[in-house]
Amino acid sequence: MKIGMIGLGKMGMNLVSNLLEHKHEVVAFDMNPDSVSHAAGKGAVPANSLEQLVASLEPPRVIWAMVPAGGPLHSVVTTLTPLLEQGDIVIDGGNSHYKDSLALAEQLSEKGIHFFDVGTSGGVEGAEHGACFMIGGDETAFRHIEPLFRDLAVENGYLYAGKSGSGHFLKMVHNGIEYGMMQAIAEGFEVLDKSPFEFDFEQVARVWSNGSVIRSWLMELAQNAFSKDPKLESIRGVMHSSGEGKWTVETALDLQASAPVIAMSLFMRYRSLDSDAFHGKVVAALRNEFGGHAVESAK
């Protein structure tokens, strides 16, 4: 199949490699010409603009956008829309909010263009060697692009999830689960770290990765991380986040669903951003007020 790829960052570039590996033709565009050259070096047809990318494809065109959610994606779609025709297909493989995907799908459907919201999981390596895809959009049109997913995904690694929005909704919840799993694993190692025993964390992660109930890719990644830095002394425990965990909690709030573990995972991330938390000052001050308990002075 011939496919246009917009956005050649870590994920997009690896998808290009994966597609070329599976003998698809790829027309590649990115704002950064170096990235376009790099893709061309791998065998993709370079495009210097969205116009050129569209012109290099035949209807019904299949265009995959792998760009940051929000502004960049919307601007790409806005530019694309007048260039496309009825029956063309736009795939958003990024981490967009499912409500934005719903809105884009509706907007494009007015011109007869199919929009697919595709959640992509598996990390950077997965993009190259086989990832996991959750796909929302029109079912008939999906059958047309299904061969792409069959090639890009690991075995059994893609799902047509349902109507528009369902792909990114699944990816959002996937990330919420990911937050909870990571925090659970991390708390376990924190207990080990504070224990009276002398554990070799790499070995612990290794044995837990083989045959145990908690075996998982994340545990294998923990083994990798500990193999490079046995006590993670070189890094700080600051936990950034990129939005999907927050969306999961917000969605749980809207749906009145209990999600204490996912929420707590997120709040511990936020807590880690403050070297000293204001709520801690308030509690310390209150203890001092009623019980005369000493406070620690700042600097």
45/127 with CB nearer a copy of itself = 127
Per-residue x/- track, 118-147, a copy of itself (CB under 8 A): ---xxxx-x---xxxxx-------------
Cα–Cα distance measured from residue 27 to residue 44, given in angstroms and rounded to the nearest whole number: 6
2 catalytic residue (yes or no)? no
Asked if 31 touches a copy of itself (CB under 8 A), the answer is no
Cα–Cα distance measured from residue 184 to residue 173, given in angstroms and rounded to the nearest whole number: 17
Beta partners for residue 141, in sequence order: none
Find the binder of a copy of itself among 18, 96, 101, 183 (CB under 8 A).
Answer: 183
In the set 2, 25, 42, 178, the catalytic residue is 178
Cα–Cα distance measured from residue 282 to residue 288, given in angstroms and rounded to the nearest whole number: 10
Q: Which 259-288 residues touch a copy of itself, going by CB under 8 A?
A: 259-288
Helices (H), 81-212: 98-109, 123-129, 139-152, 166-194, 201-208
Q: Which 195-254 residues touch a copy of itself, going by CB under 8 A?
A: 195, 197-199, 203-204, 206-219, 221-222, 224-225, 229, 232-240, 242, 246, 248-253
246 catalytic residue (yes or no)? no
Find the binder of a copy of itself among 1, 193, 230, 244 (CB under 8 A).
Answer: 193
* The one-letter amino acid at 15: L
4/180 with CB nearer a copy of itself = 180
Cα–Cα distance measured from residue 231 to residue 234, given in angstroms and rounded to the nearest whole number: 8
Q: Which 61-100 residues touch a copy of itself, going by CB under 8 A?
A: none
* The one-letter amino acid at 297: S
**Parallel, antiparallel or unpaired: strands 153-162 and 131-136:** parallel
With a CB cutoff of 8 Å and minimum separation 6, the contacts of 286 are none
The residues assigned a catalytic role are 171, 178
